[in-house]
Amino acid sequence: MNYRFLRFPEGKTKAVTFSYDDGPRFDLKLVQTFDKYNIKATFNLNSQCIHEESDGYHLTKDDVNKYILGGGHEVAVHGAYHKAPGKLRPIDGIREFLQCRLELEEMFGRIIRGMAYPDSGITVMYNGMKYETIRQYLTDLDIVYSRTLGGDNDAFMLPNDWLAWMPTTHHDNPEIFDYIEKFLKLDVNSAYCADHYPRLFYVWGHSFEFGWNNSWDRLDEICSKLGGHNDIWYATNIEIYDYVTAYNSLIFSADGTRVYNPTLKTVWFEIDKKTFSIKSGETLKLENID
């Protein structure tokens, strides 16, 4: 019996994603840099801050359509009014995130299921609020993932709990370039057999941090190092969620030698250093595996 590990599209062992909040106009410069390096990102927007006309600070509806969605990036929920769920009654949290989802979906004519927690998110709880309560109502609202914060680390793991998705690092973490070097050097397929799991590098922040600090060089350096690698899949948060969900939907025979793909995606995986791909609707007999 061998371990089985997810492989990203085309059998890739690594993925990179970015997540930026609040929709400030600095996002226009940010997204130019992402596009230059073919990096895909998720933009977490407050529905009450995005309008047809510019308020001088936020992106307009047209900006989002043209530069974010038009560039293949994702729009996700960040609360209608940027309120932290840990500080809200459940009924107010439900309104905050349902209103945001409804308004963004109406504004941009698409299904939006991703989220990043606004403000202190789930890191601070008031009035006896519990994470499990928030997790339950977000699940009921069909929010499938939500980014949290406060746990930068270089383990590069996919999340076990998608509603507490911990990024790898904030862009201002002084160790980010060490993390990037470690990530790029990793040869997943040559690692110890139990460590062939896929690796994800997930950067988050706010574009105004580059704007106010005039530290755009830092963004360019991060993107130039992480971008342009053949063994890395560049994807938005929801693309990663959807792909991993497809992988987890594969159906195996009891002895593990036969697999059926009931999803609409081609899915890749590795067993015993062999990479397999299985198309939508296909049943595959896995030869030469123990």
The least distance separating Zn ion from the CB of residue 26, rounded to whole angstroms, comes to 13
Site size with Zn ion, rule: CB under 5 A: 3
> Which residues have CB under 8 Å from 91's CB, separation 6+?
none
Stretch that binds Zn ion, among 18-26, 88-96, 144-152, 218-226 (CB under 5 A): 18-26
The least distance separating Zn ion from the CB of residue 85, rounded to whole angstroms, comes to 13
The least distance separating Zn ion from the CB of residue 215, rounded to whole angstroms, comes to 19
> Which residues have CB under 8 Å from 128's CB, separation 6+?
none
Q: Contact with Zn ion (CB under 5 A): which of 23, 93, 114, 118?
A: 118
The least distance separating Zn ion from the CB of residue 82, rounded to whole angstroms, comes to 6
Q: Helix, strand or coil for residue 259?
A: strand
- Reported as type and span, the H/E element at residue 27 is helix 27-36
Comparing CB distances to Zn ion, the nearer of 146 and 261 is 146
- Using the rule CB under 5 A, is 22 a contact of Zn ion? yes
Comparing CB distances to Zn ion, the nearer of 98 and 286 is 98
Q: Is 158 exposed, middle or buried (0-12, 13-18, 19+ CB in 10 A)?
A: middle
Rounded distance between C-alpha atoms, residue 93 and residue 79, angstroms: 9
Comparing CB distances to Zn ion, the nearer of 159 and 205 is 205
Comparing CB distances to Zn ion, the nearer of 117 and 162 is 117
Taking alpha carbons only, the member of 132, 152, 140, 158 closest to residue 242 is 158
- Using the rule CB under 5 A, is 121 a contact of Zn ion? no
Rounded distance between C-alpha atoms, residue 166 and residue 191, angstroms: 24
> Which residues have CB under 8 Å from 52's CB, separation 6+?
60, 61, 62
Stretch that binds Zn ion, among 64-72, 103-111, 112-120, 215-223 (CB under 5 A): 112-120
Distances (CA, A) of 168 to 10, 49, 90, 175: 23, 28, 29, 11
Comparing CB distances to Zn ion, the nearer of 86 and 118 is 118
CA atoms within 13 A on the CB side of 155: 10
- Using the rule CB under 5 A, is 85 a contact of Zn ion? no
The least distance separating Zn ion from the CB of residue 90, rounded to whole angstroms, comes to 21
The least distance separating Zn ion from the CB of residue 141, rounded to whole angstroms, comes to 18
Stretch that binds Zn ion, among 1-9, 111-119, 152-160, 249-257 (CB under 5 A): 111-119
First to last CA, the chain: 5
The least distance separating Zn ion from the CB of residue 118, rounded to whole angstroms, comes to 5
- Using the rule CB under 5 A, is 21 a contact of Zn ion? yes
- Using the rule CB under 5 A, is 96 a contact of Zn ion? no
Query: In this structure, are strands 232-234 and 14-21 parallel, antiparallel, or unpaired?
Result: parallel
Binding region for Zn ion (CB under 5 A): 21-22, 118
